[in-house]
Amino acid sequence: MTERRAYLDAGVGETRGVVTLDGRPERLLIARDGDLACQALGAQVVGRVRKIERQLAIAFVDLGAGPEGIVNLRPEMGRLREGQAIQVEVRTEARAGKGAALRYLGEAEGSPRVEQPAPTIEAELAALVKAPPQAGAEARAVADAAEAEALERIFALPGGGSISVERTRALIAVDVDVGERSAGDSKRASRAANMAGIATAARVLRLKGEGGLVVIDLAGRGHDGPALLIAARGAFGPDNPGVAIGPVSKFGAMELTVPRRRASVADRLLDADGSPTAQTIALRFVRAIEREAQADAGARLAARAAPAVAAAVGPYLRTLTDRFGARLEVAADPGRANEAFEVKAR
């Protein structure tokens, strides 16, 4: 029997929600100060049709801020026209190179604006887990661990072996490695690793917020296709509606599609080179300042960071000062790497 728990870490500048599955992080939800409300999953927005591509049956919609969204044209929508105001719902958040996927709700009037904000992280957690979320220091520790794991590539399997999960432009590639898993014979070991690999891949993809076409390179040969299909249906069941699973190919690969609804954790936290953005590091820096301030309530704090990180911390200084008093000094140190920030009591 599986057990899910929810955690809510409401920090300065960022709120993170985590769902764990049997003690392992399964979902990581992130909301930051400055996020565009019109681009958030579930938001209902009045937008303006900028361009219509009849041959592709799509319309590009100006949402008022951020990248344009896309509506698939359908006969029941009537004939939209360029410049028309329409009400839409964000069904899939924008990601690198692609705008948000929108659901047409009806005609509207006026300039682009948010009519109904997206659900809060608290509301999303409540929809996923019945019990109230845990908060405080435990929630922060769980959120930090979930963030770190979401950016990993290799994941250990229960009983031995591992999977690697890598994103390419075309698909998500998952490779199952038996490793030193002990079993009576190699076929049994491969079967056990594949079953564990499918379950772990489903959890990890939800944690990473990844989807689209997924190809799982299974271990061994002579696979029990029906059994693996049943396992995949169970593992990816929480991602429905929209999951489609193909049979195991003669090359030992299972192909499936998983709905991609929100920006992935990597898209939220990393830059194009795969390094944490200045804002991501700044928020980690802020959490380090909070920890030090809470550990020593009377001490003055000296915080040092790379210039880009120190600048990104700027918008949060007022909140930190209101919470902990005027005992914090943040200085830019050109000689520091972005991730080499430091907070000391003096």
Omega of the bond leading into 276 within 30 degrees of 0 (cis): no
Which of 263, 267, 305 lies closest to 283, judged by CA? 305
Give the pLDDT of residue 182.
61
Lowest mean pLDDT among 83-87, 225-229, 250-254, 290-294: 290-294
Q: What would the pLDDT profile of 176-230 be if each residue is shown by its tens digit?
A: 999 876 656 788 889 999 999 999 999 999 999 999 999 999 999 889 999 999 9
Q: What would the pLDDT profile of 266-281 be if each residue is shown by its tens digit?
A: 999 999 899 999 999 9
Where do the structural domains in the chain lie, given as residue ranges?
4-36+120-144, 42-116, 151-264, 270-345
Cβ burial 78-113 (10 Å sphere, 16+ → b, else e)? eebeeebbbbbbbebbbbeeebbbbebbeebeeebe
Read off the pLDDT band of 175 (50, 70, 90): very high
Residue 78 clears pLDDT 90, i.e. is over it: no
DSSP secondary structure letters along 93-120:
--BTTB--EEEEEEE--SSSEEEEPPPP
Average pLDDT in the 52-57 region? 94
Lowest mean pLDDT among 105-109, 150-154, 180-184: 180-184
Report which residue type is found at 196.
A
Average pLDDT in the 11-37 region? 96
Question: How far, in Å, CA of 87 to CA of 248, rounded?
Answer: 42
- Spatial contact of 11 and 290, defined as CB atoms under 8 Å apart: yes
Report the chain's mean pLDDT, rounded to a whole number: 94
Burial of residue 202 (number of CB atoms within 10 Å: 0-12, 13-18, 19+): buried
Read off the pLDDT band of 20 (50, 70, 90): very high
Question: How far, in Å, CA of 91 to CA of 176, rounded?
Answer: 32
Out of 3.40.630, 3.30.420, 3.30.450, 1.10.8, which CATH number does the structure's domain 151-264 have?
3.40.630
Residues 6 or more apart whose CB falls under 8 angstroms from that of 326 comprise none
Give the pLDDT of residue 181.
63
Give the pLDDT of residue 326.
84
Residues 6 or more apart whose CB falls under 8 angstroms from that of 103 comprise 71, 88, 89, 91
Residue 284 clears pLDDT 90, i.e. is over it: yes
Question: Which helix (H) or strand (E) is 233 found in, with range?
Answer: helix 225-235
Give the pLDDT of residue 96.
77
Give the pLDDT of residue 184.
60
Lowest mean pLDDT among 35-49, 51-65, 77-91, 321-335: 321-335
Cβ burial 168-178 (10 Å sphere, 16+ → b, else e)? eeeebbbbbbb
The SS3 of residue 32 is: strand
Read off the pLDDT band of 1 (50, 70, 90): low
CATH superfamily of 42-116: Nucleic acid-binding proteins (2.40.50.140)
Q: What would the pLDDT profile of 120-140 be if each residue is shown by its tens digit?
A: 999 999 999 999 999 999 999
